[in-house]
Amino acid sequence: MSLNTEQDFAIKNAWHRLGRKEVEVMIALTDQEKIEFGKRQSEALEEIKKLESQLNDFKKEIKNKSEAHQFIIESTCELINAGKRPVMLMLPSFLDPRDNKKHYVNMETGEIMLSEDACEDDRQGTFLDKMN
C-alpha cells in the first residue's frame, strides 16, 4: 500500500505534519561498501602497527640518550666529590718490597699517583734492576 502524499500518511497515522528537514539516517551497507570499509580498517591497523613500532624505536632512542646523560651526571658527580679527574700518564713504576705494592710515581713532583698490589712478575724484578 503506497501513500500518495505526506498528508495522507499523516492522516492514516493520526500524526501532524511538521514539514521537511534533511537528517542523517543509517542504511544497510552494500557488499562493495563492506569490502571498502574492510580495506580501510586493514590499512588503518597496519598504520597503527607502523606507528607503534616507530614509537617503540623512539622510546628506545630516548631511553639510550637518557641513560647516557645519567652516566654523565653520575660520573661528573664522582669527579666533583673526589675533586680529581682521570688522565692517562706514562709513569715509571716501583716495587716497595716492604708491602709488595707497585707504585706509579710522578718524577717531577715525587708524588705517588697510583698504588696497586704487585704481581709475581713485579716481585721477580726487571732486567733494569738486575743491571744495577
Amino acid 6: pLDDT: 84
Q: Mean pLDDT across the chain, nearest whole number?
A: 88
When pLDDT is averaged across residues 75-92 and rounded to a whole number, the result is 87
Q: Is the pLDDT at 126 greater than 60, yes or no? A: no
Q: Are 114 and 131 in contact (CB under 8 A)?
A: no
Q: Give per-residue pLDDT as tens, 39-69.
A: 999 999 999 999 999 999 999 999 999 999 9
Amino acid 55: pLDDT: 97
